[in-house]
């Protein structure tokens, strides 16, 4: 279905899960502990687990503001809402955007297990239920065009390894995902405790996608400044790129990609125009402090990134031209972000083709070639 002669691979299209997903898919013994989606408005992404809403609900704060900001977006999703964003609606949205293939990421699922104190057994049940639902969703849609990205119960590394195997080997997913936020304060991805998981993902020859979801009950950049009564725009603007930048630092300067040279990682929905500066800064810090703190690294952080990592750009992100001029076009992938409030659906692909001031060769790489390499399709 080439769009103006371009094949299109959406590296980060979203599902909008039904509110009762976990009630339907979790085992009977766990149903009383299952998260449930809240439905204060038709595209509410919050979930409730026990007595807590995630993202946290602070009276007339973030949720009310989100509803006010997003109410004008509903008309563009009229037909999707009529079908409750089911698999048929997803395929129709792909057709409208001219998307040939996509890997699907969650919406409510970004919050369902984003609690630092979540018990590992419950985390595993939440992930398993989501992955089973997503496998059914892809089968009901078009399994030749849409592929799953598996949720991992990161609260226990051994359980995360087990679910990664199941997602890839049994369900046929082409990626697994994590939020870039640390599970708990003081723990981050370069710690040796996570190496067995990176090794497993590496051996499965699948992609690892990092995807932020703004404020949650895990440490999140921006929450320390705008926790109560904070503006939605401030939190959203800060959390997405800065969380991804920190994850890039852990995987490059922190040595994860050095220890796992075949691991493929995508840093998604945090924009990508910041990449040249950030890689330069990481390289510069290795140069002056690396002999003391990172003597094991045999390459610059930027070289590890160019060898193994990707970052997404969105349709209207015209500053990406300068990033491409600086570091080349081999590490950028395209994302529509459907059906989230800041998506430009149904004109994302058209906008990118018309307004992104880069060559057709670069557009082909970003829209198709680079995504194929990330997800090995």
Q: For 10-34, what is each residue's pLDDT tens digit?
A: 999 999 999 999 999 999 999 999 9
What is the domain-level CATH number for residue 301? 3.20.20.140
Does residue 290 carry a pLDDT above 60? Answer: yes
Measured CA to CA, the distance from residue 35 to residue 48 in angstroms comes to 5
| Distance, CA of 229 to chain centre | 26
Ranges of beta strands (E only) in the chain are 9-14, 36-37, 47-49, 52-54, 101-105, 146-151, 175-178, 207-211, 264-268, 309-314, 332-335
- How many separate domains does the chain show? 1
Give Rg (Cα) of the chain.
20
Domain holding 45, by residue range, is 9-375
| Residues in CB range of 62: below 8 A, 6 or more apart | 55, 56, 215, 230, 232, 235
Phi, psi dihedrals of residue 9, rounded to the nearest 5° = -120, 115
Measured CA to CA, the distance from residue 208 to residue 195 in angstroms comes to 13
In a domain, 112, yes or no: yes
**Of 99, 94, 156, which Cα lies nearest the Cα of 123?**
156
Following DSSP, what letter does each residue of 240-261 receive, concatenated?
Answer: HHHHHHHHHHHHTTTSHHHH-T
Answer whether 273's CB lies under 8 Å from 317's CB: yes
Mean pLDDT along residues 79-105: 96
Answer whether 222's CB lies under 8 Å from 185's CB: no
Does residue 181 carry a pLDDT above 80? Answer: yes
- For position 68, what pLDDT does the model report? 56
- For position 59, what pLDDT does the model report? 39
Mean pLDDT along residues 65-71: 56
Does residue 105 carry a pLDDT above 50? Answer: yes
In a domain, 1, yes or no: no
In a domain, 148, yes or no: yes
Q: What is the pLDDT of residues 223-265, one digit of tens each?
A: 878 766 567 788 889 999 999 999 999 999 999 999 999 999 9
In a domain, 32, yes or no: yes
In a domain, 325, yes or no: yes
CB-neighbour burial class of residue 27 (10 A; exposed 0-12, middle 13-18, buried 19+): exposed
Phi, psi dihedrals of residue 335, rounded to the nearest 5° = -140, 135
In a domain, 227, yes or no: yes
In a domain, 129, yes or no: yes
Q: What is the pLDDT of residues 331-365, one digit of tens each?
A: 999 999 999 877 899 999 999 999 999 999 999 99
pTM of the model: 0.95
Measured CA to CA, the distance from residue 362 to residue 80 in angstroms comes to 32
**Of 271, 281, 350, 344, which Cα lies nearest the Cα of 312?**
271
Measured CA to CA, the distance from residue 92 to residue 205 in angstroms comes to 30
Mean pLDDT along residues 57-86: 68
For residue 25, what are its two tokens? Answer: 């898919």
In a domain, 3, yes or no: no
């Amino acid at each position: 279905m080439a769009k103006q002669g371009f094949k299109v691979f959406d590296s980060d299209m979203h599902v909008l899960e039904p509110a009762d997903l976990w009630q339907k898919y979790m085992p009977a013994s766990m149903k009383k502990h299952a998260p449930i989606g809240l439905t204060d408005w038709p595209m509410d992404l919050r979930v409730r687990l026990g007595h807590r809403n995630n993202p946290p609900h602070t009276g007339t704060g973030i949720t009310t503001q989100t509803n006010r900001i997003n109410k004008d977006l509903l008309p563009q999703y009229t037909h999707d809402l009529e079908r409750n964003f089911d698999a048929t609606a997803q395929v129709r949205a792909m057709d409208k955007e001219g998307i040939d293939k996509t890997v699907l990421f969650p919406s409510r699922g970004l919050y369902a297990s984003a609690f630092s104190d979540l018990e590992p057994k419950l985390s595993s049940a939440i992930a398993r239920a989501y992955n089973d639902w997503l496998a059914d969703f892809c089968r009901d849609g078009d399994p030749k065009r849409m592929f799953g990205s598996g949720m991992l119960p990161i609260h226990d590394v051994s359980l995360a390894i087990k679910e990664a195997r199941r997602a890839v080997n049994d369900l046929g997913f082409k990626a697994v995902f994590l939020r870039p936020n640390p599970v708990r304060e003081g723990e981050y991805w370069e710690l040796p405790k996570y190496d067995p998981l990176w090794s497993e993902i590496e051996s499965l020859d699948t992609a690892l996608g990092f995807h932020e979801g703004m404020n949650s009950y895990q440490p999140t950049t921006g929450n320390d400044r705008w926790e109560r009564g904070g503006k939605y725009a401030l939190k959203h603007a800060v959390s997405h790129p800065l969380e991804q930048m920190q994850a890039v630092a852990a995987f490059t300067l922190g040595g994860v990609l050095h220890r796992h040279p075949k691991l493929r990682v995508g840093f998604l929905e945090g924009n990508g125009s910041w990449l040249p500066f950030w890689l330069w800064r990481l390289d510069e810090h290795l140069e002056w402090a690396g002999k003391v703190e990172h003597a094991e690294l045999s390459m610059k952080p930027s070289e590890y990134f160019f060898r193994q990592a990707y970052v997404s750009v969105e349709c209207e992100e015209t500053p990406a031209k300068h990033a491409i001029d600086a570091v080349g076009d081999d590490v950028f992938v395209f994302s529509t972000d459907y059906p989230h409030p800041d998506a430009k659906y149904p004109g994302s692909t058209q906008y990118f083709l018309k307004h992104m001031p880069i060559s057709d060769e670069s557009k082909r790489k970003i829209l198709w070639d680079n995504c194929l390499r990330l997800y090995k399709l």
